[in-house]
Structure 1
Amino acid sequence: MSSTMSITGLAPRATDPADDLGAQPVIERAHRLVPELAERAAECDAEDRFVAANYALLKQAGLVEAGVPRELGGAGADVRELAAMLRVLAHGCSSTALAFSMHTHQVAVPAWRWRHQKVAAAEPLLRRIAAERIIVLSSGGSDWIGGSGEAVRVEGGYRVTGRKVFSSGSPAGDILMTGAVVHEPEGDAVIHFGASMKAPEVRVLDNWRALGMRGTGSNDVVLDGLFVADAAVAFKRKAGEWHPVFQIIATIAFPLVYAVYLGVAERARDLAIGIAGRRPPGEDVLHLAGRMDTALRAARLAHEWMISAVERNAPSAETVNEVMIGRTLVAEHAIRTVELAMELAGGAAFQRGVGLERLFRDVQGARYHPLQAGPQARYAGAMALGLDVSRIF
């Protein structure tokens, strides 16, 4: 048994490649893609190139619609299965897995609302994802609780301008799920809507040059006077304050995003063990390997905690707290795992060709998603003391 299979517990069962695709669990489909994803990961990283070819593979494998309920034409995967899928994909290409996690959570959230809240308005989008395999983008941290961009009231709707940063997967996107701030006498509000990436008022910049996750295509997307009809507004909320829909988003999305960083840490661990295994097992090697596996176990336990919060099927301020505590712990321990993997592998880890150096850079992205360390600690502290958390983000 390989080290990857033994430590992750995510090995696929044997299947015939000719098996019907729809009958294969999504994790098996993900495993089949890992070798090809890995082949081009270093090249995309070195050239700051979006992993476009990998999106074609994801579509062919039926993973774009993985989270769509079976009744609506998808694979019906729940959040636990989707997280496992993303974790496996990260063993092949961190950037592909992270960019795809943004689409995946934009599918998982309306799927959850369709099933558990009977939100019929989610059905057309979900059916379209299943039938057309469209890619749905998240506008990332730029559209967090505070909102960004500006929506000006015009006849029949709004005229929207804004710049949406960290829009992962933007070169492959069909719909950008985003929002804009409306300045009103009673206070700022945020409208939420889907923007067609084919609209002439929507433009993707080529400006993603980053330390790690270089193939995610997380460019800025500019909205320049986009008209959004009243009927196209999904919901409206107060700016700078948690809304029940954002409690759903935060609870469901972040276990998926952080599954990627867990997968990056697992891949780094496996590479380091492979390198260290070729040397005599001295005491320092044993010590580093043990500390590395301990850190990785902590990351896994924290991620399982995040998944358990989702599986309560009751998103709330409390589940946001549980998920965000898990998010901080996964980040800390995934980063520490990769640091220790670098030390365990020794000087070889400094060479780009080995792959650890890239994983070390990629895992640093775990620091930057909401809730970052400061707001997360304040949120948890306020919850512990029974104080209001509605404006902590």
Structure 2
Amino acid sequence: MPDTQVTDHLTIDWIAAADAIGREIAATTARHDEEDTFVEEGFRALKAAGFFKALVPAELGGLGADYRDICQAIRRLGTICGSTALAFSMHSHLVAVPAWRWRHEKAPVEGLLKRVAAEDLVLISSGGSDWLPSNGRAEKVDGGFRVTAKKVFSSGCQMGDLLVTSAIHDDPQAGPTVLHFAVPFRAEGVRRLDTWRVLGMRGTGSHDVALEGVFVPDAAIVARRPPGQWHMLFHHIFALAFPLVYAAYVGVAEGARNHALEIARVKPKTAALTIAAGRMENAFMQAEMGLDRMIAIAETDAPGPERTSRAAIAHTLTAEAAIATVERAMELVGGSSFYRDLGLERAFRDVQGARFHPLQELPQLELTGRMALGMGIDG
């Protein structure tokens, strides 16, 4: 293990630590992509370096990392292994949101944050199936609920400790209500399904997780909301989660860009080559600017519909630019980029995932248009 196991949060250089981990796992990334296997080495290295408790406030036993630093560390990891970076970003946003709420709203979330720090927990998001509508059924029973659901895109679930998820309860008074809760992976009725056979980001291990009559005690319900509507919790999630997630994609784009430049610099310097390099550089700067704007919005803007709309715009622009960067890197290199051994083909497949996180482009355009026209955020 590289020399990244530092315990004093005031002295950790998270970007340098990510660099060290990247060097350690670089030789494994192609194998995990080829074999559709989880990037276990990357997660183990991240855990040894303290990354899973990095964003927990120091007052609660964590390492008190700066949010922007972790975004940039994820970006750096993404230059080497997009799957490690993306899977880790999913845990990170599940810590970043309660940490922000604890610090700024005095929300009663310190129990979870203290557990993450003390037990070095890995949190798994089921956000791919739990956006505003949620999914699954929660039936009321004595002392809690029985939950039945199938949760998709559960990145990193092979090493997960808690699944942070939701389900819909048909409340007799309030009507359909989304319940938010976490369940241990060791709980009876929690089952990982081997389903992750995909185009890109193959090493994230984003398998489905089945909840088969899982008991969730009343005390585990941390939030209730109407399905399908924007709730303040989701305004927090959207602004704080996606800079971490899209840092991974900008990292993939950066890795492709760097590799393409290495190859192109030894080619004859034709006008076509230099123009292709310039086009790639323009796209990459757009990706950097988009990510920086996403981070700044998360750091400084007040939570609410206006911030969510601005974050959604930056989200779309960052995704488009990251994808364009990899496409232009392949154009710069030429036909050899089509060969899998070169690595650009994997970057092309991995970066396509940027298209599919909420909000995708069409829903984003509708949301932003509604806000611009004074119609409100909910349809």
Place the TM-score, normalised by the shorter chain, in its bin.
over 0.9
Question: What is the match of residue 228 of structure 1?
Answer: 216
Superposed CA deviations along residues 314-363 of structure 1, whole A, max 9, x for unmatched, are 21111111111011001111100000000111122111111100000000
Contact 1:175 1:197 in 2 (8 A): yes
Contact 1:305 1:322 in 2 (8 A): no
Cα distance in structure 2, aligned partners of 1:289 and 1:334: 15
Q: List aligned pairs for 1:359-374, cutoff 5 A.
A: 359-374=347-362
Superposed CA deviations along residues 234-282 of structure 1, whole A, max 9, x for unmatched, are 0110011111111101110011101111111000000000111111111
Question: What is the match of residue 312 of structure 2?
Answer: 324
Moved more, 333-342 or 52-61: 52-61
Question: What is the match of residue 247 of structure 2?
Answer: 259
Q: Structure 2 vs 1, CA of residues 48 and 316 (structure 1 numbering), >3 Å: closer, same or farther?
A: same
Q: List aligned pairs for 1:204-353, cutoff 5 A.
A: 204-312=192-300, 314-353=302-341
Alignment size in residue pairs: 375
Match of 2:135 among 118, 141, 148: 148
Classify the secondary structure of the residue corresponding to 1:183. strand
Q: Structure 2 vs 1, CA of residues 19 and 39 (structure 1 numbering), >3 Å: closer, same or farther?
A: closer
Question: What is the match of residue 137 of structure 1?
Answer: 124
Pair 1:112 & 2:100 matched: yes
Classify the secondary structure of the residue corresponding to 2:65. coil
Superposed CA deviations along residues 166-203 of structure 1, whole A, max 9, x for unmatched, are 11111110001000011234431100000101112100
Cα distance in structure 2, aligned partners of 1:20 and 1:126: 20
Cα distance in structure 1, aligned partners of 2:5 and 2:151: 41
Contact 2:301 2:307 in 1 (8 A): no
Cα distance in structure 1, aligned partners of 2:113 and 2:303: 21
CA displacement at 1:21 relative to structure 2: 4.5
Moved more, 364-373 or 311-320: 311-320
Query: Aligned-pair RMSD on alpha carbons?
Result: 1.4
TM-score for the superposition, normalised by structure 2: 0.96
Cα distance in structure 1, aligned partners of 2:276 and 2:177: 51
Letter aligned with residue 38 of structure 1: A
Cα distance in structure 2, aligned partners of 1:78 and 1:202: 34
Classify the secondary structure of the residue corresponding to 2:203. coil
Cα distance in structure 2, aligned partners of 1:311 and 1:117: 15
Cα distance in structure 1, aligned partners of 2:175 and 2:220: 22
Question: What is the match of residue 47 of structure 1?
Answer: 35
Cα distance in structure 1, aligned partners of 2:160 and 2:254: 29
Q: Structure 2 vs 1, CA of residues 20 and 226 (structure 1 numbering), >3 Å: closer, same or farther?
A: closer
Cα distance in structure 2, aligned partners of 1:37 and 1:343: 28
- Unaligned regions of 5+ residues in structure 2, if any? none
In percent, how many aligned pairs have the same letter? 50
Question: What is the match of residue 25 of structure 2?
Answer: 37
Classify the secondary structure of the residue corresponding to 1:390. coil
Superposed CA deviations along residues 65-118 of structure 1, whole A, max 9, x for unmatched, are 111111122221232111101001111210000000000000111111111111
Moved more, 96-105 or 185-194: 185-194
Question: What is the match of residue 155 of structure 2?
Answer: 168
CA displacement at 1:19 relative to structure 2: 8.5
CA displacement at 1:208 relative to structure 2: 0.2
Letter aligned with residue 182 of structure 1: H
Contact 2:56 2:63 in 1 (8 A): yes
CA displacement at 1:37 relative to structure 2: 2.1
Letter aligned with residue 181 of structure 1: I
CA displacement at 1:46 relative to structure 2: 0.2
- Unaligned regions of 5+ residues in structure 1, if any? 1-15
Classify the secondary structure of the residue corresponding to 1:236. strand
Cα distance in structure 1, aligned partners of 2:110 and 2:285: 38
CA displacement at 1:377 relative to structure 2: 0.3
Superposed CA deviations along residues 10-67 of structure 1, whole A, max 9, x for unmatched, are xxxxxx9488453222112111111122110000000000111211101111111111
Question: What is the match of residue 127 of structure 1?
Answer: 114
Contact 1:193 1:232 in 2 (8 A): yes
CA displacement at 1:220 relative to structure 2: 0.3
Q: Structure 2 vs 1, CA of residues 62 and 390 (structure 1 numbering), >3 Å: closer, same or farther?
A: same
CA displacement at 1:313 relative to structure 2: 5.2
Moved more, 345-354 or 367-376: 345-354
Cα distance in structure 1, aligned partners of 2:4 and 2:45: 17
Match of 1:191 among 179, 190, 194: 179
Classify the secondary structure of the residue corresponding to 2:202. coil
Match of 2:49 among 47, 53, 61: 61
Cα distance in structure 1, aligned partners of 2:377 and 2:276: 40
TM-score for the superposition, normalised by structure 1: 0.93
